[in-house]
Amino acid sequence: MTSSILLPLLGGGLIGLSASLLLLANGRVAGISGVVGSLLAPVRGDIAWRVLFFAGLLAGGLLLAWLRPGAFPAPASPSAGGAWLLAGAGLLVGFGSRLGNGCTSGHGVCGISRGSVRSIAATLTFMATGVLTVFLVRHVL
Amino acid sequence: MRPSLSAFLSGLVFAIGLGLAGMTDPANVLGFLDVAGDWDYRLAFVMGGAIAVHAALRRLIHQRARPLFAATFPTFSASKPDAKLLAGSALFGVGWGLGGYCPGPALTSLATGAVPLLVFVPAMFAGFYLAQVLQARGSRGATRAEVPRAGAAPAP
C-alpha cells in the first residue's frame, strides 16, 4: 500500500513543484490545455514561454522513454475502430478543456490549490463524466 | 535563470512527474476512473500530492510583489461557475474516460511517437481550435472592451 502510493505522491509533488516554478519565474499558471492551446491563436510576446514549456514536456517524455520505459504502455497499433475512438476522445478532450478553460492541471491542480470555486466545480464535473463514461463503456455497453 | 529556461524546466519537471506518477499509462487512468470495477485509487494521490505542494508554495510565492521574470501574477475570473465552464468540463471528462489521456500526459507521451498519440494529439489540437473558433464567434457580438485579448486569460 505505502509503496504503491509513493510514486504517485512523488510524481504529484513534482507536478506541484513544476507549477510553482512557472508561477514564481514566469507568473503563469501551468494549465496544459491553456499553455499549449493558446499557441493556436498566438499573441506577439506571449509565444516563447509556451513553446518552451511544450518542448520541456516533450523532452521529459523522451527522458522517461529512455530511463523509465514502463511509464508508457507497450507499443501497439490501435484497430481501425480503436483509432476512431481515440480521435473522438482527443477531439472531446481538446474542445472540452478549452471551452471549460482548463483541464486536470489548470483546474484540478492549480485551481484547487488556490481554492477557486470555478475550478472545484470544473474538476468535480470532469471527474463525474469521466467516471460515468468508464462505467458505461466497461459495465453497460 | 532566464524565463525561457524556467519555462522549459517547468515543462520537463511536469512531464517527469506525470511519468513517475503513472499518469502516462491510460490503463492506470481508466482504472482510477472505474470506481464500479476494480478501483485503482492510486492516482488520487497524484492530485493530492500536487495540490499539497503547490498550495503551500504558492502562498510563499505570492509574498513577493511580482514574479521573477514577469510584471504581474495571473488574475482570475471572479465569476461563478457558468454553463460554458461546466459543459466544457463535462465534455472533457467524457473524452478523458474514453481515451484515458488528458492533455499533459498526451503531450508527454507524444515524445514516444506511439501510434495512439499520433491519432489522439492532432484530434486534441483540432478540438482546441474548434473551441477557440466557437468562442471567438460567440464574443464577436460583444463590445470591444468586453472581448478578452486572445491569450490574455490563459488561466482557468
ipTM rounded to 2 decimals: 0.96
Q: Does residue B154 sit within a domain? A: no
From the list A26, A102, A133, the residue facing B94 with the nearest CB is A133
Give me the pLDDT at residue B146, please: 45
Give the count of domains, chain B.
1
Mean pLDDT of chain B: 91
Q: How confident is the model at residue A36 (pLDDT cuts 50, 70, 90)?
A: very high
Q: Of A25, A108, A78, A101, nearest to B18 (Cα)?
A: A108
Quote the longest CA-to-CA distance of chain A. 49
Task: Give the tens place of pLDDT for each residue, B114-140.
Answer: 999 999 999 999 999 999 999 988 877
Kindly state the average pLDDT of the residues A45-51: 95
In whole angstroms, what is the distance from residue B17 CA to residue A60 CA?
9
Give me the pLDDT at residue B141, please: 60
The DSSP output letter for B80 is P
Count of CA atoms in the C-beta half-sphere (13 A) of B74: 28
Give me the pLDDT at residue B111, please: 94
From the list B61, B109, B131, the residue facing A99 with the nearest CB is B131
Kindly state the average pLDDT of the residues A1-16: 90
Q: How confident is the model at residue A41 (pLDDT cuts 50, 70, 90)?
A: very high
Asked whether residue A141 carries a pLDDT value surpassing 70, the answer given is yes
In whole angstroms, what is the distance from residue A22 CA to residue A19 CA?
5
Task: Give the tens place of pLDDT for each residue, B57-101.
Answer: 999 999 999 999 999 999 998 899 999 999 999 999 999 999 999
% residues pLDDT > 90 (chain A) = 91
User: Any CB–CB contact under 8 A between A58 and chain B?
Assistant: yes
Q: Is the dihedral of CA B113, B117, B122, B125 positive or negative?
A: negative
Asked whether residue B151 carries a pLDDT value surpassing 50, the answer given is no
Q: Does residue B113 sit within a domain? A: yes
Answer whether B36 sits within 8 Å of A22, measured CB to CB: no
Give me the pLDDT at residue B1, please: 67
User: Any CB–CB contact under 8 A between B16 and chain A?
Assistant: yes
Asked whether residue B154 carries a pLDDT value surpassing 70, the answer given is no
Query: Torsion-angle region of residue B37: left (phi > 0), alpha (psi -120 to 50) or beta?
Result: beta
Asked whether residue B153 carries a pLDDT value surpassing 60, the answer given is no
Interface of B with A in 92-151 (CB under 8 A): 92-99, 101-104, 106-112, 114-116, 119-132, 134-136, 149-151
Q: Of B51, B154, B57, B99, nearest to A120 (Cα)?
A: B51
Mean pLDDT of chain A: 95
From the list A5, A18, A133, the residue facing B42 with the nearest CB is A5
CB-based contact A59:B16 (threshold 8 Å): no
Asked whether residue B45 carries a pLDDT value surpassing 50, the answer given is yes
Answer whether B69 sits within 8 Å of A32, measured CB to CB: no
Give me the pLDDT at residue B77, please: 86
Asked whether residue A40 carries a pLDDT value surpassing 50, the answer given is yes
Q: Does residue B156 sit within a domain? A: no
Task: Give the tens place of pLDDT for each residue, B27-39.
Answer: 999 999 999 999 9
Task: Determine the structural domain holding residue B85 and report its residue range.
Answer: 3-146
Q: Does residue B153 sit within a domain? A: no
Count of CA atoms in the C-beta half-sphere (13 A) of B67: 23
User: Any CB–CB contact under 8 A between A81 and chain B?
Assistant: no
